[in-house]
């Protein structure tokens, strides 16, 4: 078993990761009858994609002697109706200043695009992934 989820009332849940005991609270968003005081379940889905992309990049970076510490992402989730669902996830990944060359950039971008969450999402969810690479002196 991976986790448990308990309904706390008022459109709020508490998820517990069984191995670590870490807890995550979710709250329904204001546009779906909630207060929006925590991640919504669909926020977690979109954020999970970004976290997975960066984690897989981190594995590849470590395997190739690269350091991507400081990499961060911004996530924009666009919902659709009828049925209510995630229609599009936009992720902008900003890489740290590290003078990555073309080979390293291609390696890390390819690793990100091979993340398991990306492959697990419904084909109807458009995934727009962009990378920002600070100026570098390497060709």
* Contact predicate 53/73, CB 8 Å: yes
Q: What is the pLDDT of residue 75?
A: 98
Residue 33 structure tokens: 């009858």
Residue range 86-137, pLDDT digits in tens: 999 999 999 998 889 999 999 999 999 999 999 999 999 999 999 999 975 5
* Contact predicate 71/79, CB 8 Å: no
Burial code (b: 16+ CB inside 10 Å, e: under 16) for 88-115 equals ebbbebebeebebeeebeebbbebbeeb
For the domain made up of 41-139, give the CATH fold: GMP Synthetase; Chain A, domain 3 (3.30.300)
CA–CA distance from 52 to each of 13, 24, 131 (Å)?
23, 17, 15
Confidence check: pLDDT of 60 > 90: yes
Q: What is the pLDDT of residue 125?
A: 96
Q: What is the pLDDT of residue 137?
A: 53
Mean predicted confidence (pLDDT) in 48-56:
98
Confidence check: pLDDT of 79 > 70: yes
Going from N- to C-terminal start, the domains of the chain cover 1-39, 41-139
- How confident is residue 41, by pLDDT bands cut at 50, 70 and 90? very high
Residue range 5-25, pLDDT digits in tens: 999 999 999 999 999 999 999
Confidence check: pLDDT of 28 > 60: yes
């Amino acid at each position: 078993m991976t986790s448990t989820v308990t309904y706390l009332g008022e459109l709020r849940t508490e998820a517990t990761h069984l191995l670590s005991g870490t807890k995550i609270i979710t709250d329904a968003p204001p546009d779906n009858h909630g207060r929006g005081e925590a991640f919504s379940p669909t926020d977690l889905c979109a954020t999970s994609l970004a976290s997975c992309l960066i984690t897989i990049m981190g594995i590849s970076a470590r395997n190739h002697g690269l350091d991507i510490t400081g990499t961060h992402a911004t996530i924009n989730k666009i919902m659709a109706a009828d049925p209510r669902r995630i229609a599009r996830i936009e992720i902008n990944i900003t890489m740290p200043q590290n003078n990555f060359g073309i080979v390293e950039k291609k390696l890390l971008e390819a690793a990100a695009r091979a993340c398991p969450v990306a492959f697990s999402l419904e084909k109807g969810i458009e995934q727009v992934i962009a990378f920002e690479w600070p100026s570098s002196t390497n060709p």
